[in-house]
Amino acid sequence: MFKFLKKKQAKQSGKPIWQPDKLPRHIAIVMDGNGRWATKRALPRSAGHAVGAETFRRIATYCKDIGIEYLTVYAFSTENWKRAEEEIETIMELLEKYLYESLEKMERDRVKMKFLGDITVLSTKLQSLIAETEEVSKRIDGVQVNVCLNYGSRDEILRAAQKYAEDANPPPLSEETFSKYLYTADIPDPDLIIRPSGEMRLSNFLLWQSAYSEYYFTDTLWPDFTEQELDHAIVVYQNRDRRYGAAGK
């Protein structure tokens, strides 16, 4: 009851109720539910992706403002190529638009970007924009937004195994050394993974990296996801006992 009242009071005051000294360092989000959001409103699925892109902007900005160091979002999976061509084109066009806009204000906003996944199958224009974005990011000291694009975790692990096998002088194999062959090399594992839209599965997202991540599931569709929902997810995270396999006290 006390927790409920505390949450209600926080919403009324507009102030978050999480503890600033216990924020997750790295939050990852499966941006799911854009198509269903549009379908519920008798709109084309492209409309859902457009609103979802704006939600991403808001949440990324909020993460930067409250002090999150890393934000990773699942933008397009290796399985998403099975979708209708029109929907895929819409997603790629939105990404291109976002990158053009980001290049103009990344340094001002102190937001750097990294792309995780096989981008070699994307258009030449997109590959060029991604390369330029990552080059600019090298000059920025700020929040890092990782965009998983044409990403699948099983594919990532297979690629890492192949790279290790092809290494002319590989180090002794361990979890730590193997991690350096993943797309996420030098990025800390996510502390909190958020899955909107009511689905309760991993969907081939960060399987290696999420071994000890905390999960937060919500029925909210991604276009409706708010800063207040993120606040609540952080509170849930902060109230969990992360033991990493050790016995509880």
Cβ-contact 120, 149 below 8 angstroms: no
- 128-146: b (≥16 Cβ within 10 Å) or e: ebbeebeeebeebeebbbb
* Lookup: tokens for 163: 């790279």
- Residue 71's Cβ-side half-sphere holds a number of Cα atoms within 13 Å equal to 24
Task: For residues 190 and 194, give the distance between their C-alpha atoms in angstroms, rounded to a whole number.
Answer: 10
Show which residues are catalytic.
Answer: 32, 80
Main-chain phi, psi angles of 81, to 5 degrees? -65, -15
What are the start-end ranges of the E strands in the chain? 26-30, 70-77, 111-116, 143-151, 192-195, 214-217
Q: What does DSSP assign to residue 190?
A: P
